[in-house]
């Protein structure tokens, strides 16, 4: 009878161990990270000198409007000044 109780205890221990492993294996994986949100829409401006479209954050403000580069701003303002 003692041997039978020992066998029951051994079986219970094995099942408990397997159950614990099974629970660990079935642990739900963390949800995948959501995709990065799209970048904020930026206002697009066009260069007053060449018409190139570029984000307003990268544009250079000038007397005649927005410019894609300092060279175009200088050329545009020179043309305006020269008539």
Q: Which is nearer to Zn ion, 18 or 70 (CB)?
A: 70
Residues 83 and 25: their CA atoms lie apart, in Å, by: 79
Q: Are 42 and 57 in contact (CB under 8 A)?
A: yes
In the bound complex, what is the minimum distance in angstroms from residue 83's beta carbon to Zn ion? 21
Does residue 72 sit in helix, strand or coil? helix
Q: Which is nearer to Zn ion, 14 or 58 (CB)?
A: 58
The piece of 9-17, 28-36, 37-45, 52-60 that touches Zn ion (CB under 5 A) is 52-60
Residues that bind Zn ion (CB under 5 A): 47, 49-50, 52, 68, 72
């Amino acid at each position: 009878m003692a041997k039978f109780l020992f066998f029951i205890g051994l079986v219970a221990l094995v099942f408990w161990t397997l159950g614990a492993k099974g629970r660990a294996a079935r642990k739900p994986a963390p949800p995948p990270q959501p995709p990065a949100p799209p970048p904020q829409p930026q206002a697009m401006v066009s260069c007053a000198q060449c018409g190139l479209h570029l984000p307003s954050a990268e544009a250079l403000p000038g007397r005649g409007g927005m410019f894609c580069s300092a060279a175009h701003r200088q050329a545009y303002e020179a043309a305006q000044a020269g008539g």
